Structure 1
Amino acid sequence: MNTKDIEKKNYIKALIQVKREIKKQKQQQDSKSEVKDSSSLSLYDFKNQQQLEDQQSISNFGQPNSKVQQQNSNITSISNDNFFENLEQTQHNLYQLIQQLYQIKADDLDKIIKNKEEVYICEIKKEQQEICQDLSFNKDDTLLATANGKNIKIQQFNEGNLSQITILQGHVKNISCILFSKKTNSIFSGGYIDDHLICLWEEKIQNNWELTVQKDSRSPITCMELNQQETKLIVGNQYGFVQIWEIDYKKKIISIHDEQRKIHKKVVYGVSLNKSETQLVTCSGDSKIIVWKICEQGMLEVLRELIEDTFVSRIRFLDNHRFVVSQSQRGLIEFKISSLEITKKTIVQTDYEDCHYFPIQYHKDSQLMVVKHYRSVYLIKEFNHGDYNCIKKLNFDSNKILGALSNNGKHLIIQNENKFYYYQLF
């Protein structure tokens, strides 16, 4: 990369940082939150040299034909009264500067910014004595549930800070997965070997939880997903079964609606519904991907059966016709379903073995995908309906990585062995 390309990259990064700070200030104004001392920009207190160079890019700009100079300056002289106005003026000037220096049209510059925006802002590492099996945010991202052995720990979540509220006890052995409801403060949990229980926990009054339903699924549970109405719970298990359970909240009953036993021969690692909930995809240790049709009665019928050369550890529908998989020794792959064929596109390629922890997370509004593979977590931005840009790769010490993306797409919690990592996303 030559000097001009490096200079251009730094200007664009600087512009992204200013846009991010403007967004942050607007959010604070909209929520009427307390405005902190703006005599300095804490956003620009970065830890690595590249980010410091980006900071200098902002502080060194002048007239539209100016160039980056190697000067040691900062942008801490913005007054409180004109802080927001100066930010907007900075954004405007940077737009003009980049357009004139590099002959870029406004629409093209907007596309470049969208594709290159980084989402990683801060990281907080915290020691955690207990190793958990799964994590899930509640509907408004104020609570985080973690499965710790046979118990569920409910913690208050506030900008990366966690404080324990209560511990839920009802499983007899280890819990494999938990799902917070998107409608109420309710939790579904599934038990693994020597447990087999599906439990529904409900918050009756604030911080007072009750086990309202407990059902024996007759097999170790490995993955779960709720439909949008939260009347159906789709379950995959250790024996290769795919089950649909019907939920009656008033009667406090969970009953089996459909069970498919003979399609997958090994453990089911992932289940995912498409947008319209007319299809389901499942993946397994038998290297099969099954596309299921959901008929009007809610029963499953095999629509397509794909045999891969290595097993798929996790799977996620993005819309009605596309799903992505994390495949051992292959990486991240998009499958697109048409009436005649299924096409494949490699998004991230790796040769490493993988395990099934940490389901694929996808935030539809921001089109951000969080995918674990081997010892890494990839933050991937989708644009133009099928083009992907890996904007961050987070590396960890071991293969056992768990995590949860908040419902608003702003917070990412990851656990690797006995450490919690918190990432604030914009």
Structure 2
Amino acid sequence: MYQQYNQKNQVKFCYELLSELTIHQKQVCYAITFNQNKQLVLVCCDLNIKVYQFNDGYLKLISILSKSRFTITVLSFFKNNRKCQFLSGSCDSFIEVRSITQLRSQKYTQKLDSHKNGINCLVIGQDQNMFLSGCVGQAIKLWSCFQQNQRSCQWSCQQTITDHTNSVYTLDINSKQNKAVSCGYDDTMLIMDIIKNMETYQLVLKQKIKLPNFSYRILFINDSDFIFQSYSAKFLQLFQQDQNEKYFITYSLPVQCKSQPCNIFFQPQFIQSKGYFVCKNSQNLNFVYHNPVNNELVLLYSIYFDNYEQYGSLSEDGEYLITWNQKLEQIEIRKYKLIDDKNN
């Protein structure tokens, strides 16, 4: 479906706003996330986390989890020992681990306090036993989970990378979980190998690239190539390796960008089943296809928001998009829709 859809250009689509399902929310919302089967949605609500049951676009509030004195910035589901849990990070520098079996409880499974500054980004590895986090300070931390028994595990910080000289804004890990990449406010990109040895992991810096500007968004689109969206730039760039395994720009795609301001949150996603990735740029959310045959990037579709303060995510299958609109103070739900243009 991936190549057929894009190369033959047989399918056109849009994300239709389901205005009747809009929910009012005045409190700031920097992160929204679906669980894997899109039955649950977590929504940041300033200091709290709202837990919704999701059913064909309808959100039913089932719990509100109190967090702390500081705004929540990142949310991510993961599975460990076949149990579904989620991570939340906030401006107070803490990362909390919670279980979905305790959604009506205010208790967390574990509180991670190794960071000294607010959490900007977090990405979980494919095996669900490690993740990376970046903060307002210069630190990237590698966390791993060791099984203590069949029922629980404990996360611990295994390594801290301090090669950035300012805030870390974005992180990603490839699907093989052997490479990681980061960008920060210091206009620097770090490319790292992930080495696994038994139950331990290690980050090894392989390349440091000085950039003309910083970035909020970076994403692996396969096990070696990644895309890079410089801050409110009119081009999205593809990075690939040369024969010496050094990364460089191989393609630049003009993308939609209506105004200069942007914000760090709303990380890019690759939608495997639909064959495209999604990357926000200022007031636009761009849907892009990468042709692996000629390494061409193709802009398929773009959603223009009326303001850049929009945060959210897509379901794993790409069927739904949920965002928080800061200007209108509401949560908005959009659904994937095929466009039949045979009569056009």
TM-score by length of 1: 0.69
Name the one with the larger helix percent.
Answer: 1
| Equivalent residue, structure 1, for 2:133 | 235
Cα gap change, 1:108/1:267 in structure 2, threshold over 3 Å: closer, same or farther? closer
Other-structure match for 1:326: 229
Higher relative contact order (CA 8 A, sep 6+): 2
Q: Distance in 1 between matches of 2:309 and 2:8?
A: 35
Q: Which has the higher strand share?
A: 2
Alpha-carbon distance change, 381 to 126 in structure 1, aligned in 2, over 3 angstroms: farther
> Where do residues 12-23 of structure 1 align in structure 2 (5 Å cutoff)?
none
Change in 2 beyond 3 A, CA 1:187/1:109? closer
Alpha-carbon spacing, 1:108–1:370, altered in 2? closer, same or farther (3 Å): closer
Q: Secondary structure at the match of 2:227?
A: strand
Query: 1:47 — aligned with what?
Result: none
Q: CA RMSD in A?
A: 2.5
Segment of structure 1 superposing worse, 323-332 or 380-389: 380-389
- The match for 1:360 among 245, 256, 268 is 268
Matches within 5 A, 1:245-284: 245-248=143-146, 250=148, 251-261=152-162, 263-284=163-184
**Which aligned pairs between 1:146-157 and structure 2 lie closer than 5 A?**
146-157=43-54
Whole-Å Cα distance in 2 between the matches of residues 301 and 108 of structure 1? 38
- The 3 A distance-change label for structure 1 pair 318 and 312 is same
Matched AA of 1:290 = L
Larger Rg: 1
In the alignment, what sits opposite 1:42? none
Unpaired runs of 5+ residues, structure 1, are 1-106
The unaligned stretches of length 5 or more in structure 2 are 338-344
Match of residue 244, structure 1, among 139, 142, 145: 142
**Cα distance in 2 for residues equivalent to 1:243 and 1:353:** 28
How far off is 1:321 after superposition? 1.4
CA deviations on 1:358-407 (whole Å, 9 max, x unpaired) are 10011122222111111111122334453333222211222222111101
**% same residue:** 20
**Match for residue 402 of structure 1 among 308, 311, 316:** 311
Question: Is residue 2:201 matched to residue 1:287?
Answer: no
* Preserved contact between residue 170 and residue 183 of structure 2 (Cα < 8 Å): yes
- 1:179 partner SS: strand
One-letter code aligned to 2:134: G
Structure 1 residue identity aligned to 2:322: I
Are 1:335 and 2:234 counterparts?
no
Q: Which moved more, 1:122-131 or 1:158-167?
A: 122-131
Map residues 35-114 of structure 1 onto 2, 5 A cutoff.
Answer: 111-114=7-10
Which structure 1 residue ranges, 4+ long, deviate > 6 Å from structure 2? 107-110
CA distance in 2, matches of 1:170, 1:127: 21
Write the distance in 1 (CA, Å) between the matches of 2:314 and 2:284. Answer: 15
Q: Do 1:411 and 1:423's aligned partners in 2 also have CA atoms closer than 8 Å? A: yes
| Cα deviations by residue, 1:54-75 (Å, 9 ceiling, x for unpaired) | xxxxxxxxxxxxxxxxxxxxxx
Alpha-carbon spacing, 1:110–1:338, altered in 2? closer, same or farther (3 Å): closer
> What whole-Å deviation, never above 9, does each CA across 1:288-336 have from its counterpart, x for those lacking one?
1110112234211211111111111111111111101110142321111
